[in-house]
A and B are shown apart, each in its own frame.
Chain A
């Protein structure tokens, strides 16, 4: 059924127009994100091999045959490593986005609600964090805490707070000044109750859009950290780490590992970005 037929079909005009605005590209992005998530969750069930199983007899196998995407320099199945790698590669950004969203919302809403000097102080603080490159902060965190998933994820959580908080603060101030909030204040509701039950739910669409876009960027940043060898440690599979591991093989003419992991990262980041844009059109009726 084409979009035109959909639009002409009887039923809720709102849902139809939402479906229309969602668009084919967003649908693809949504499918990709879903597939990646499923891969991470069900990796043990769908992966054909153990991702850490070394097989000296099957080094540098090309794509096809027993190994769909080939094997790496020690004979590990690349597809299985990509599937298992989705776990660390998606868990990191998920931590970053959840922490940044929770902290960012708290910061934004309290700044918008209290206003005045507190708001000015918070806004300048966010500017300072915003000005500090997330990757540098992540590397510092690794130097202090040690390599692994947690140190860079914690550092990036902090540096992603302004991405969420700055946008949300503006929207929260707009909501704060609407009469429905004033009416609730006059009723005698406390600030916390008004924020939790009314203000934040009205910011939720914007929060979801911001978090989705931020997820893609966080994935890219964490992959970069792993590529540098500061994130997830071998032999555990992780996409950024696989790109780095495959580097020596490229010289030998075996592109499979780096290329497949790199492409997976690109596809994932683009998918989260497109999904964020699509959600923005649906929830907020705008392109960003």
Chain B
């Protein structure tokens, strides 16, 4: 039977918060009973603005936080939650890996790239030193780094290079699913494109499935097959990327799409001589300026 690489089933996360007027029951729901699946070797984008619950979703899937209810299944097998034996912890590490947004704090500043990868390999695989060195070199090559960078400390690397290291470290565990939590958001556009190319190559070579957590629809278009649109902890729209981006049904999706700069877009000018700002060029309409009523 063919299981999806990743299945999120009725996942829900509620945080206790201080009781205020906005929140009389003292609870904040970051994620409402949502479900989605990711095919083996597939690429699913989870898009939405800050606070829409997409990062919470990622942290629940990798097990950095505990879901209030619901389940996460990898290859049809439910992932255990909470404290567990070291063998099960390692097995979970080989199911799902994650690359975080901030390249500057994603690596141990005192550990050389090569040692960082070797440490992960030692944890997961029974290899002798020669096999391990070979695999490290393979991973370094796979993400487009060179020998010199492999021997460097993170502070000697650029943001894009560090993010490649983080990707290599995640791939070292040979996971079935790789979550990219805004993994290219902190990089400038040309570096973003390079890293996205690396990711596309890696997917082709290894068959790993991607869960792309992002707010950047341009990235979604470039690398994802399917997309899930989230708003305030709920999935408001889902489907193949081409369909959703071209025939967005939900007004929130349409507004997200409208906020992507495109050819002919005029950057908003800061008025210095009393000129009014160009209203048509507003790059990112905030949600609060609701033009269409949202359900």
Contacts and interface: CB of A to CB of B under 8 A. Distances in A.
A185 B102 CA distance: 17
B201 interface: no
A186 B60 CA distance: 11
B227 interface: no
Nearest to B97: A186
A192 to B, nearest CB: 10
Interface string A201-232: 11000000000000000000000000000000
Interface string A178-208: 1110110111111000000110011000000
Contacts of A201: 110
Contacts of A189: 89, 123
A183 B106 contact: yes
A24 to B, nearest CB: 28
Interface residues of A, number: 15
Q: Identify whether the interface residues of A are mostly helix, strand, loop, or mixed.
A: helix
B145 to A, nearest CB: 17
B91 interface: yes
Contacts of B62: 186
Contacts of A197: 119
Contact of B106 (A179, A187, A198): A179
B92 interface: yes
Interface string B103-135: 001111111000000011001100000000000
Contact of B100 (A183, A188, A202): A183
B254 interface: no
A241 B190 CA distance: 70
B91 A188 contact: yes
A202 B105 contact: no
B177 to A, nearest CB: 12
A202 B89 contact: no
19 contacts: A178-B105, A182-B98, A182-B100, A183-B98, A183-B106, A183-B169, A183-B170, A186-B62, A186-B93, A186-B97, A186-B98, A187-B93, A187-B169, A187-B173, A188-B91, A188-B93, A188-B124, A201-B110, A202-B110
Given A187-B173, A188-B93, 15 more contacts: A179-B106, A180-B105, A180-B106, A182-B64, A183-B170, A186-B63, A186-B64, A187-B123, A187-B124, A187-B169, A188-B89, A188-B94, A197-B119, A198-B108, A202-B108
